[in-house]
Amino acid sequence: MATPRSVFDAAELRAHFNDAGINPQFLPSIWKYVLQNPGCELDDIPDLPSAAYPLLRSKFKALTSTVHSVFHSTDGVTTKLLIRLQNGALVEAVIMTYDTRLGKYGGKPRPGGPRSTLCISSQVGCKMGCKFCATGTMGFKSNLTSGEIVEQLVHASRLSNIRNVVFMGMGEPLNNYTALVEAVRVMTGSPFQLSTKKITVSTVGIIHAINKLHSDLPGLNLAVSLHAPVQDIRCQIMPSARAFPLEKLMTALQLYQKNSQQKIFIEYIMLDGVNDEEQHAHQLGKLLETFQVVVNLIPFNPIGSFSQFRTSSEQKVSEFQKILRGTYNIRTTVRKQMGQDISGACGQLVVNQPDKRSHVNTSLLPDIEDLHI
């Protein structure tokens, strides 16, 4: 028998229903039932046409993945899920809880309260090989199916009320393009009902995929892992940059911005002595001054003891931010550190068990997805 697929593999399920003459309008009610009833069997789902049950039984599973373990960081705001896929591989998803009231909007505290962002993986490992990222050390193992991507949201939704999703976990999302698009379409439909404005896809800059993204998923937020203002530094720290030259990437982003009329998030990891000097800030400012962007400066998270990079000092990060803001009028934020003690922070996602370092910070934090753009 073929390996059963997840009921959240929308295209697969829809195709089987169409072939069997079953109306695909039943898909959201199947998903809703599975979401609300952990451990259910597909036979338990009420009110489906009788032909649907043998089809579901023979080809699908309610969930193909399981939560292998859950780690809560000492900061009280980060939870890492280690999820086992049915082929035995493990991927990570990270829930980050924020308090929107800590952000300011128009000089006044923002309304709202605590809510959660889920950082989702799109691949097992990653073939991009960025030298500052732990996932890159795993190499590329496999793409996730759209159902395996959506199941991370199912598992996380049982622990927290997820309002935002960021594709910033393991893998390069645009290298798994078809599954990504299908997963996002499921997440924005019933029963999840996430807004595309609350979903951010991060990429190292896969140009041909960026060129299609707006027409396939209008309204989505695009984040680009730029990490250097010039091509040669980019190639040193991100080997994949050779395939996607900076000049061509910026042309693609210009077109994306023109079509989408949306701001683009620029992610920039601060590596001491590599890309964090004043000249780099000016180069970055000049590169981005014609764009509508939010630059997010990310303090480097060391990956165990073997890391070849050091974290930029707070003073350097602050100077860098001042130049971008003051000289180039570019909106610039500094990413808060969350979940380092459970290896759940940016660039640390590699399948391992967290070490026992403690990192105490119990306040709830505002985050990039809360910026009004």
Cα separation values, 211 from 77, 146, 360, Å: 36, 21, 42
Mean pLDDT of 223-227: 97
Tell me: pLDDT of 135 over 60. yes
Tell me: pLDDT of 222 over 80. yes
Band (pLDDT 50/70/90 cuts) for residue 304 is low
d(CA 118, CA 41): 26
pLDDT value at position 107?
Answer: 59
Output the six-digit token pair for 141.
């193992």
Nearest to 152 by CA among 192, 189, 125: 192
Provide the 3-class DSSP secondary structure of residue 21. Answer: coil
- Tally of CB atoms within 10 A around 169: 24
Tell me: pLDDT of 367 over 60. no
Q: φ and ψ at 331, to 5 degrees? A: -65, 125
d(CA 131, CA 310): 12
Question: Is 69:90 a contact under the CB 8 Å cutoff?
Answer: no
Catalytic residue among 119, 126, 133, 346: 346
Residue 273 DSSP symbol: T
Average pLDDT, the chain: 88
Band (pLDDT 50/70/90 cuts) for residue 372 is very low
Mean pLDDT of 338-360: 50
Tell me: pLDDT of 182 over 60. yes
Cα separation values, 194 from 234, 293, 304, Å: 34, 23, 35
Is residue 346 annotated as part of the catalytic site, yes or no? yes
Band (pLDDT 50/70/90 cuts) for residue 308 is confident
27-52 b/e (C-beta count within 10 Å ≥ 16 → b):
bbebbebbbeeeeeebeebeebeeeb
- Among the residue ranges 29-43, 76-90, 99-113, 296-310, the one predicted with the least confidence is 99-113
Tell me: pLDDT of 335 over 90. no
Q: φ and ψ at 329, to 5 degrees? A: 55, 40
- Tally of CB atoms within 10 A around 67: 18
User: pLDDT: is 225 or 104 the higher one?
Assistant: 225
pLDDT value at position 134?
Answer: 81
Mean pLDDT of 173-178: 98
pLDDT value at position 357?
Answer: 31
Which neighbouring-strand residues pair with 162? 116
CA angle, 44 as apex, 93 and 23 as ends, to 5°?
A: 85
Residue 275 DSSP symbol: T
Question: Is 142:87 a contact under the CB 8 Å cutoff?
Answer: yes
Residue 336 DSSP symbol: P
pLDDT value at position 103?
Answer: 54
* Domain extents in the chain: 5-57, 66-104+111-342
Catalytic residue among 92, 172, 267, 369: 92
pLDDT value at position 2?
Answer: 81
Question: Is 97:370 a contact under the CB 8 Å cutoff?
Answer: no
**Best-predicted range by mean pLDDT among 93-102, 181-190, 294-303?**
181-190
- Among the residue ranges 28-42, 114-128, 354-368, the one predicted with the least confidence is 354-368
> Token match 């990079």: residue?
309
CA atoms within 13 A on the CB side of 220: 26
Mean pLDDT of 288-310: 86
Question: Is 207:174 a contact under the CB 8 Å cutoff?
Answer: no
pLDDT value at position 26?
Answer: 97
Tell me: pLDDT of 368 over 50. no
Peptide bond preceding 191 in cis form (omega within 30 of 0): yes
The type of residue at 63 is: L
- Tally of CB atoms within 10 A around 332: 24
d(CA 57, CA 42): 7
d(CA 348, CA 302): 8
Band (pLDDT 50/70/90 cuts) for residue 302 is confident
Is residue 92 annotated as part of the catalytic site, yes or no? yes
CATH superfamily of 66-104+111-342: Aldolase class I (3.20.20.70)
